[in-house]
Amino acid sequence: MADEIYRAYFALQDIESRQSFCGGRTGRFVMLTIYSAGSMSVPDLAYRRALSRQRMQQVVDLLMEEGFLERQANPRHKTSSLMALTRTGRRKAKTLVRQEKQFFKDRIPWVGQRKIQTCREVLQELRLELEKERLRNQP
């Protein structure tokens, strides 16, 4: 199973690298993550993507310049703002979600939405377990 996940990851990575988007794959990740999970701080986004906070800040700054993101007060932290989608950002994120659904529909039309949803849920469960282990092993 791990081999299939790696191979799918690298194939998707190759396809994404040929699609122009502000901030590249990381910018796309930020937009979709905030769209699905809600406002997040730059350190939280960096942790989720396994990037340095500084690199994530660069991508967030680009997305802010494009008008996709805005800062919000963070009740948990005085200096680390939450990043939220603007109205333009929400529209763009919805477009990205539609494109993603169409991508799978075009490539594997024989697989229904129910199976794709089940696959997403299984991968999410696996990721959550792996992230728990990652947290336990942090210094």
> Which pLDDT value is given to residue 61?
97
- Determine the Cα–Cα distance for residues 108 and 119; give it in Å rounded to an integer: 13
CA distance 66 to 24: 13
Residue 76 lies in a domain: yes
Residues 6+ apart with CB under 8 A from 72: 39, 81, 82, 83, 84
- Count up the domains in the chain and report the number: 1
CATH of the domain at 45: 1.10.10.10
Name the residue range of residue 57's domain: 2-107
For residue 130, being part of any structural domain is answered with: no
Both tokens of 43, joined, read 């350190």
Is 121 inside any structural domain?
no
Q: What pLDDT, in 10s, does the model give residues 79-123?
A: 889 999 999 999 999 999 998 888 888 888 888 888 988 998 999
C-alpha to C-alpha distance for 79 and 81, rounded to whole angstroms: 6
Whether 89 and 68 have beta carbons less than 8 Å apart is answered as: yes
pLDDT mean over 46-74? 95
**Which is more confidently placed, 125 or 77?**
125
Asked whether residue 122 is assigned to any structural domain, the reply reads: no
The 10s digit of each residue's pLDDT in 2-34 is: 899 989 989 888 887 787 787 888 999 999 999
Tell me whether residue 16 is in a domain: yes
Query: Does residue 127 sit within a domain?
Result: no
Residue 23 forms part of a structural domain: yes
For strands 69-72 and 40-41, give the pairing.
Answer: unpaired
| Inside any domain, residue 125 | no
Q: Which residue has the tokens 């997305």?
A: 63
